[in-house]
Structure 1
Amino acid sequence: MQNVINALRVLEEVAARQPVGVGEVARGLGLPKSTVQRSLKTLHEAGWIRPAGGEVTRWQVTSKALQIARRTELGLRDAAMPVMEELRQRTGETIHLMVPEGDAVVLIERLETDKPLRIVLPLGIRLPLHASANGKAVLAHLGGLLEDLPGYTDTTITDAGALRAELEAVRARGYADNRGEWRSDIAAVAAAVLGPDGPIASLSVSTPASRMPEELRAEYGKLVTQAARTLTDSLG
């Protein structure tokens, strides 16, 4: 079992530092070079890593991890679509499905409103964790806080203490909201989809800022929280 754990740790270290040599990985993980070398050999034989630029002294990950991630994403999309459609019918607004990736959330699916005034975000766009409803919904269930909090609008939370209080409020009510914190013309509410080890995605209701008064914000917040719980349950 320890060999498997070591190999996974080495894979994560290579992904974070690539291209990287055995010595750098060993120092980063605090493991003996011989242990790291065995793990690298195993990962290479299994197709998870390859020599960087043809040099067997430095390694980088292959597309295998990405292929598996895409399959996982497809499963998430399949489970989410009926939940998203019901949420769109109940709100009449655009519904987003995002997944956490590093210091951001990435849009992987959307169902758009039929209303003529809408804000369309492209699939694959990255939104900051601290300045978006989807991001804060995820961040509320992660350990630690971000150190760098850049401002995007006048309402972006850039103070660590204020963000900590905001995330406590998110956990208390079950959903996060965005009051023009990334773009001043966008409002949203979002809730996290949770797995055994933390947030795996988030669902949101997104509208032009002019179309989300306080009473609707609270109503949509309850609906998106229910939808995220339904998706969490369907994923097991």
Structure 2
Amino acid sequence: MRSVITALHVLDAVAERQPIGVSDLARAMDIPKSSVQRALRALESAGWIRSVAPEQGSGWVLTTKAGDLAQHIAGDLGVREAALPVMAELRDRTGEEVHLTIREDQEVVVIERVESTHPVRIHWPAGTRSPCHASANGKAILAHLRPADLAVALPGPLPGFTESTITAPEKLRAELAAVRARGYAVARSELRADIASVAAPILSPSGTPIAALSVFLPMHRLDDDTAPLGELVRANAQRIAAAVATR
């Protein structure tokens, strides 16, 4: 635990003083040079920092990974406010429940919802978690992750929940490529036999997925041709992304 805390303090110090060398870091933090070197190696291995050449100032600087994290946090804080009016409009156009989700490790979590106007609906409250590979929201986000982040989101065997769940990694990767190409994901009876959803990612300006927007409905109300609904969800996800980017 102590080494983790030291590494985080070193990361803070690099951010404040970059570019900065090992000796200067050790003096500024008043800790042994060997401890600083171990922390720097760990942070470099994890992709948080990189060394720069003497002509660029020498020492250590942050990588873009820190910026991606900041964008994700900013998006989570601002995305709810930006999304709610768009979600209400999307519900009014479709009559179906609309969800806003974020990814946490191997799952997506509903952080906002707007209820369906139909008398027959499925109760799916805020805070509900779903495996990424078995939901449209999850697949919409997974399709836009960097390879290293995708490996974290899909660390091992994919559990099946229904006969329609994609459990073969190669089949899922092909599905994610298709999702990325068309801009939206579809889940038909993949988590439960009676539910379906169509989702699109909400992307930061750098292309990092910060959330996903989806229409959530009973399976019997999903048309065979999902393209019109998919394009509608995609367009509204882009509206939210544009609003978040200006905040």
Normalising to structure 2: TM-score of the pair? 0.67
Deviations 1:36-91 (A, max 9, x none): 789xxxxxxxxxxxxxxxxxxxxxxxxxxxxxx99864521111011111111111
SS in structure 1 at match of 2:190: coil
Counterpart check, 1:179 vs 2:172? no
Q: Which amino acid aligns with 1:203?
A: L
Tell whether the 8 Å contact from 2:10 to 2:36 is kept in structure 1 after alignment. no
SS in structure 1 at match of 2:201: strand
**Aligned twin of 1:141:** 144
Q: Which amino acid aligns with 2:217?
A: T
Counterpart check, 1:86 vs 2:89? yes
**Aligned twin of 1:158:** 167
Q: Which amino acid aligns with 1:219?
A: P
Written as runs of structure 1 = structure 2, the 5 A alignment for 1:18-57 is 32-34=34-36
- Call closer, same or farther: CA 1:8–1:125 in 2, change over 3 Å: farther
TM-fit CA distance, 1:120:
1.4
Q: Work out the CA distance in 2 between the residues paired with 1:180 and 1:32.
A: 55
**Aligned twin of 1:227:** 236
- Call closer, same or farther: CA 1:89–1:194 in 2, change over 3 Å: same
- Call closer, same or farther: CA 1:134–1:5 in 2, change over 3 Å: farther
Aligned-residue CA RMSD (Å):
2.8
Identify which of 103, 108, 113 aligns with 1:105.
Answer: 108
Q: Work out the CA distance in 2 between the residues paired with 1:225 and 1:200.
A: 14
Greater shift in the superposed pair: 139-148 or 171-180:
139-148
Q: Which amino acid aligns with 1:7?
A: L
**Aligned twin of 2:220:** 210
**Which has more radius of gyration?**
2
Q: Work out the CA distance in 1 between the residues paired with 2:197 and 2:171.
A: 19
TM-fit CA distance, 1:134:
0.1
SS in structure 1 at match of 2:120: coil
Q: How many pairs were matched up?
A: 183
Q: Work out the CA distance in 1 between the residues paired with 2:241 and 2:202.
A: 5
Q: Which amino acid aligns with 2:117?
A: D
Q: Work out the CA distance in 2 between the residues paired with 1:157 and 1:186.
A: 15
Tell whether the 8 Å contact from 2:197 to 2:216 is kept in structure 1 after alignment. yes
Q: Work out the CA distance in 1 between the residues paired with 2:36 and 2:9.
A: 15
Q: Which amino acid aligns with 2:194?
A: D
**Runs of 5+ in structure 1 lacking a partner?**
10-30, 39-68
Q: Which amino acid aligns with 1:95?
A: V
Q: Which amino acid aligns with 2:210?
A: I
**Aligned twin of 1:51:** none
Tell whether the 8 Å contact from 2:75 to 2:244 is kept in structure 1 after alignment. no
Identify which of 197, 208, 229 aligns with 1:198.
Answer: 208
- Call closer, same or farther: CA 1:160–1:87 in 2, change over 3 Å: same
Identify which of 128, 131, 136 aligns with 1:128.
Answer: 131
**Runs of 5+ in structure 2 lacking a partner?**
1-6, 14-32, 41-71
Normalising to structure 1: TM-score of the pair? 0.70
SS in structure 2 at match of 1:231: helix
Tell whether the 8 Å contact from 2:76 to 2:210 is kept in structure 1 after alignment. no
Q: Work out the CA distance in 1 between the residues paired with 2:176 and 2:186.
A: 10
- Call closer, same or farther: CA 1:8–1:115 in 2, change over 3 Å: farther
TM-fit CA distance, 1:113:
0.7
**Aligned twin of 2:80:** 77
Q: What percent identity do the matched residue pairs reach?
A: 48
